[in-house]
Homo-oligomer: A and B are copies of this chain.
Amino acid sequence: YPVNPNADEILGLKAYPSVSSIPEPVDVVVVSVPAPKVPKVIEDAGKAGAKFAVIIASGFKEVGNVELEKRVVETARRYGMRVLGPNIFGYVYTPSRINATFGPRDVIPGGVAFITQSGALGIALMGTTIMEGIGVSAIISIGNKADLDDADFLEFFEKDPNTNIVLIYLEGISDGRRFVEVASKVTLQKPIVVIKSGRTEAGARAAASHTGSLAGNIAFYETAFKQSGILFAKSVEEAFDWVKALTWNPLPKGDRIVVITNGGGAGVQASDTLADNGFLLQRPSETLVEEIKKFVPPFASLANPIDITGMAPTEWYYRSVYAALKDPGVDSVVVLYCHTALTHPVEVAEEIIRAVKDVGGLTKPLTVALIGGVEAYEGIKKLTETRIPAYPTPERAAAAMAAIHRYVKYREYVRKRLSYLGKERS
């Protein structure tokens, strides 16, 4: 229902002069009026029985109007109403087909809930989810957090069957203890990836002049994230890479990662990245080696990375990926393809997709890198369309796989820590 005291019709819909004049019960009110008028609208919405106010308007705490913001929250509380915002670009919840933002309208439904404290960057990243083919359950522009904050939404997403991973762009937290407690519970169920802006002193100063939120000591955040099992991304690219791998993949049963490549150099880069993240490649299982020996040339290296050589036709990708996904001695698979003159990346992508289909879907985690020019990007698009996480460099594919394995390790740590705390209390 559009509400506007000066219009009878908006976009072909009948407009109402106030929320309370709407003939039906109202659940959510999206408020986009100048800041000084917000308290009156909230009052009216409260009377109309609305339960949830989404305040897009800015001009509150972020410009020094602390009192006005307080008044809005107090008014809402009087009517038992919760407030998202103010100073936000809105929110999305795809299961209810709601997109109350001024960002892109064509977000893809999926399992990722994205909470962002930054407006412009948040809207831009909404666009990135679409381009990267990442489906979202929710996008929450959280703004000044006058009432609801990250922990509140985490509690919701923990139970939300439509969400399987939470991504947070965070500038500051006011109640650190509660955040850690809630996040620790959530990460037992679902991964959380956080981009903490203002990691450095310089960044923290920039953040302070941005939303006025204190970025705080990064050591505190690092400890808090570790204790709650949160994956800490330093860049938006890293965060999106990891999210793609985590939302589309199942979790691995162990740390036996196998890297398959047609280029030794790409394999070395992936090994370096995995080692940077604490994961060492072990010798692949004998059965897998035997299987791959059947078709590769004698000079192929069958250690890990498994180098099926630069002469590999697309079919070898099918066979090696199929064999690795089938093999019970393999927990997860990183596939690398360097574009050479022999094969087309799209065909390699198709063979990988066929292998995944033939083993019955992604029964263990898989990430892919197709390295090259525009043709490689076509292949990446093909893979991501079928929800196989694919990247343009070996390091990004390896880092995304490392994130999955790190999450499993973190979760184990949190589980132990919580059980220890539980024992201590009893």
Q: A-side interface residues toward B, CB under 8 Å?
A: 63, 102-104, 116-128, 130-131, 169, 171, 195, 197-203, 205-207, 209-211, 215, 234-237, 262-269, 271-276, 280-281, 299, 301, 303-305, 307, 310, 338-341, 371-377, 392-396
Instruction: Look across to chain B and name the residue whose beta carbon is closest to the beta carbon of A120.
Output: B263
Q: Give CA–CA (A200, B281) in the complex, Å.
A: 12
Q: Which residues of B contact A375 (CB under 8 A)?
A: 127
- Of B103, B198, B202, B273, the residue contacting A280 (CB under 8 A) is B202
In the bound complex, do residue B310 and residue A395 qualify as a contact, i.e. CB atoms below 8 Å apart? no
Q: Which residues of B contact A234 (CB under 8 A)?
A: 272, 276, 395
Instruction: Look across to chain B and name the residue whose beta carbon is closest to the beta carbon of A198.
Output: B268
Q: Which residues of B contact A236 (CB under 8 A)?
A: 269, 371, 393-395
Q: Which residues of B contact A215 (CB under 8 A)?
A: 268
Q: Which residues of B contact A273 (CB under 8 A)?
A: 235
Ordered nearest first, which 8 A-B pairs have the shortest CB separation?
A: A118-B265, A120-B263, A210-B264, A127-B373, A121-B265, A203-B272, A200-B275, A124-B338
Q: Give CA–CA (A203, B276) in the complex, Å.
A: 10
Given contacts A128-B371, A200-B272, 10 further A-B contacts (CB under 8 A): A122-B265, A124-B263, A124-B376, A131-B372, A198-B271, A198-B272, A234-B272, A236-B269, A237-B393, A237-B395
Given contacts A206-B305, A266-B120, contact A131 B374 (CB under 8 A): yes
In the bound complex, do residue A197 and residue B339 qualify as a contact, i.e. CB atoms below 8 Å apart? no
Instruction: Look across to chain B and name the residue whose beta carbon is closest to the beta carbon of A218.
Output: B272
Report the minimum CB–CB distance from A302 to chain B (whole Å): 9
Q: Which residues of B contact A201 (CB under 8 A)?
A: 275
